[in-house]
Amino acid sequence: MTPAAGAAGATGVPPACAPLVLRGRVVGADGAGAAAGGPPPTRPVVMAIVNRTTDSFYAGARQYDDGAAMDAVGRAQAEGAAIVDIGGVRAGTGPEVTVAEEIRRVVPFVERVRAEHPDLLVSVDTWRAEVAREAALAGADLVNDTWAGHDPRLVEVAGELGVGVVCSHTGGAVPRTDPYRVAYPARDGVVDDVVATLRAAARRAVACGVPAESVLVDPTHDFGKNTWHSLHLVRRTAALADLGFPLLMALSRKDFVGETLALPPDERLEGTLAATAVAAWLGARVFRAHDVAATRRVLDMVAAVRGDAPPAAAVRGLV
pLDDT of residue 112: 97
d(CA 114, CA 66): 14
* % of residues, the chain, pLDDT over 70: 93
What are the φ/ψ torsions at residue 242 (nearest 5 degrees)?
A: -75, -5
List pLDDT tens digits, range 79-92: 999 999 999 998 87
**Selected residue with higher pLDDT from 70 and 95:** 70
Residue 244 lies in a domain: yes
CA 161 from chain center: how many Å?
21
Asked if 23 and 36 touch (Cβ cutoff 8 Å), the reply is no
Residue 211 lies in a domain: yes
List pLDDT tens digits, range 293-307: 999 999 999 999 999
List pLDDT tens digits, range 208-238: 999 999 999 999 999 999 999 999 999 999 9
- Which stretch of 169-178, 197-206, 246-255, 284-293 has the lowest confidence by average pLDDT? 169-178
Domain limits at 125?
21-306
The set of catalytic residues is 254, 288
pLDDT of residue 5: 44
Residue 312 lies in a domain: no
Residue 6 lies in a domain: no
What secondary structure does DSSP assign to 21-51, as a single string?
EETTEETTB-HHHHHTTSPPPB--EEEEEEE
Residue 34 lies in a domain: yes
Cα–Cα nearest to 213, from 18, 49, 16: 18
Residue 275 lies in a domain: yes
Tally of domains in the chain = 1
List pLDDT tens digits, range 30-86: 643 333 344 556 789 999 999 998 877 777 777 788 999 999 999 999 999 999 999
Residue 122 lies in a domain: yes
Residue 203 lies in a domain: yes
CATH number at residue 183: 3.20.20.20
